[in-house]
Chains A and B, each alone.
Chain A
Amino acid sequence: MKRTARLNCFRCLFAFAIAVVSAPALSQTCAAPIEYTYSPVSGNTCNSTRNLPYLANGAIVNGGPDIVYHGYLLSTTSIYAALEGVDNLSLYVCRGPCGTYSTCLAVIDSVAFAAYPTTIYPAAPGDYYFIVGSASGVCGTYTLYLWTPSPNE
């Protein structure tokens, strides 16, 4: 079976080094996002706060506490994402800079007991922020799966 690279291809060790140097262990905001280095990751937004109430210049309202992951896309490619978790969590896939004025490519709502992969394409090179929050304001546990194709795919 052909293996595909995960988002640890996102600026790879360079990004990880930044995270190690600048981010406290529990940082998960735009200022200090969690570097997405390996799929999947799990978390609980109830342990966070609502740092990003608005995205896409206010077009998107995030009603719940949020956790921010960062990755860097080296070339134009598709991103494959799946959010598995409690009902009504939302995954916002946004371009940098991170914050209220991010341009968001996709929003994926979790459905309890069902998780679907979503392909987001094409995605241009650059910084991406994967924000787990909730449009409806709930919080809870989740597992976030992210991949990009390997360069030779």
Chain B
Amino acid sequence: MMDCTRWCSGILWLAATATVADAQDCVLPGPFQRQFQNNVTATLSAANAEGPCALSVALKAGGGPLAAGFLHYRRSSPTTSVRYGFRIDSSALANFNLTNLLRNVQLFSASSPVVVGADGSLPWSHLLLIQLAGGNPSPKLVLTAANALGVGGVASQLSIPLTQALNTLRVEINVGVGSAGFVRYWLNTSFNDPPTGTFGNGGLDNAAWIGVIAAEVGVSSPSISFRNDYSGSAIVLDQIESSDDLLLWSDFETLQ
């Protein structure tokens, strides 16, 4: 008899996610098959029916720090190399180029199954976390990566200035000892092009974080200044992609 482990799991996986996918006239992107909304006005839509979803999220006034709208997924086991990409449309954030870093909101995180904390440091569980922050004259994407060699022993940070309101960011996360751990990123270029930069040229030494177990893309953890100034202004994330193809998972039962 044909071993149907993969096929069956794929069919059941589709069945498990069909309810979510049917909730909008578009296809949820890649592995991001779950969604979370709290105190936001969020829409999932596509220019063409059954096209890949664009996620639009605007915070509700008075929504507080837990206001969030994002897509997410969780793997059954951590992966040590993975790519993600998405396009960010921040054009609705009026005068965002006249503000400062206090106006910030989280757009993405790829998380470890463990929390690592060097002595006295902020316990840190994200292999990569990306925030959109204001700035004058350039708003910024702030990347914070797990880095055992960084100041504080848990993470380090870099800022990418943005000169336009529509930007595509692609990242590649590699987990390993010493120089085997690094993050590469591409701003407004393809994965086929040379990376715009490498985070941790000397190595992030991020092996203690094991690998990426889960990821989310959307809007969350808005700062008070962002909430005060930009509630009601939508951030749109589309062209969401990932190398993490989970369609053929054999352990579909972890999709709870």
Contact = CB atoms under 8 A, between A and B. Distances in A.
A153 B223 CA distance: 32
Contacts of B151: 4, 78-80, 119, 147-149, 153
Interface stretch (A21-29, A50-58, A67-75, A106-114): A106-114
A79 B65 CA distance: 26
A76 interface: no
A108 B142 CA distance: 14
Interface residues of A, number: 35
A40 to B, nearest CB: 6
Which of A1, A78, A113 counts the most chain B CB atoms within 10 A? A1
Contact of B118 (A3, A87, A149): A3
Contacts of A135: 224-225
Contacts of B156: 119
A114 B221 contact: yes
Contact of B65 (A39, A108, A111, A117): A111
Contact of B224 (A4, A84, A109, A117): A109
B154 interface: yes
Contacts, number: 90
B224 A111 contact: yes
A117 B101 CA distance: 13
Given A1-B153, A109-B223, A109-B225, A116 B118 contact: no
A13 interface: no
Given A1-B148, A4-B152, A147-B152, A115 B118 contact: no
Contacts of A119: 151, 156-157
Contact of B221 (A84, A106, A111, A117): A111
Interface in B145-199: 148-157
Nearest to B120: A39
30 contacts: A1-B205, A2-B205, A6-B120, A39-B120, A40-B122, A78-B151, A79-B151, A82-B152, A87-B224, A88-B224, A108-B102, A109-B102, A111-B65, A111-B221, A111-B222, A112-B64, A112-B66, A113-B65, A114-B106, A117-B155, A119-B151, A119-B156, A119-B157, A136-B224, A145-B121, A147-B152, A147-B153, A148-B151, A149-B151, A153-B151
